[in-house]
Structure 1
């Protein structure tokens, strides 16, 4: 099973999860967690059929479709692939979806700046601490660091030099 949010880091984790599923001759379940905005009318305590809740669920399904299409294109990843959208916070949704202690949960670690650590808890850390099965935490691709550096330079309008990129 692999968690995804559509980020480049989660796409790296999806490819690793597909490789692990092929090696184990297992199915690959791709899980995308979603929540209604601001815990409003579609929050857990309210009726399940609100238009906001339905719209959030449909948006999550579409995001999962787009993520799988981006990750694997038109060709299958060489394993049986299943997508699942789960309502809840990402870490808890992934841990709650694990069905068997023999499963392998694959998550991306992503870049964790001090600001992000303060605003959003780490999904990978949550899964490592709470999952009833082995967890494989996949670090971001080295190219992700280069992309982040280019983005920061663009935001601050600083010149980019080829020597600044990892070689």
Structure 2
């Protein structure tokens, strides 16, 4: 086993802007440490009758796994294009909740777990558990939580304005001539 294979930087990838930022930071950390990069996409089958243990029909697990792998590959293509991260890359689609999957994969002493730590509103915190908080509380290796980019705030503001159909700036109130 080579040195790069022993030292790993494990990154949680969901395809969100925060996870793409974490993926870039993880690649930079892997390059700096001479480590391999492990991109982990967690997935669960949809909840419902087909996935219930008492169901007579087996869920199409292979199809769900392939869809998760495709989503993970698409996120990697979005992040790096055709160039790749520039370090040894391993891609894993893991059947589990995101936090548990990341903590399970990043289980070696030399691992570094990199996650996106976007700010979330009260509604999100009440309804959805935080993957970052789970990883920070349960990981046995160092965890690097990558904060949201300042562009996230600007993008969110533009989305709110567009959804409310408000002008983007004062110049749009007129025809552009002052």
Cα distance, 1:87 vs. partner? 0.5
Runs of 4+ residues over 4 Å off in structure 1: none
Q: Write the distance in 1 (CA, Å) between the matches of 2:40 and 2:58.
A: 23
Q: Is residue 10 of structure 1 aligned with residue 13 of structure 2? A: no
Alignment TM-score, normalising by the size of structure 2: 0.84
Counterpart in the other structure of 2:163:
155
Deviates more, 1:129-138 or 1:98-107: 98-107
Q: Is residue 125 of structure 1 aligned with residue 133 of structure 2? A: yes
* SS of equivalent residue, structure 2 residue 145: strand
Q: Is the 8 A contact 2:40 2:92 kept in 1?
A: yes
> Deviations 1:111-150 (Å, cap 9, x if unpaired)?
3011111111110010000000000000111111111111
Q: Is the 8 A contact 2:116 2:145 kept in 1?
A: yes
Counterpart in the other structure of 1:42:
51
Q: How many pairs align?
A: 161
Q: Write the distance in 2 (CA, Å) between the matches of 1:84 and 1:42.
A: 22
Alignment TM-score, normalising by the size of structure 1: 0.89
Counterpart in the other structure of 1:75:
83
Q: Is the 8 A contact 1:42 1:53 kept in 2?
A: no
Q: Which runs of 5+ in 2 are unaligned?
A: 1-9, 171-178
Indicate the RMSD between aligned Cα atoms, in angstroms: 2.0
Cα distance, 1:57 vs. partner? 1.0
Greater radius of gyration (CA): 2
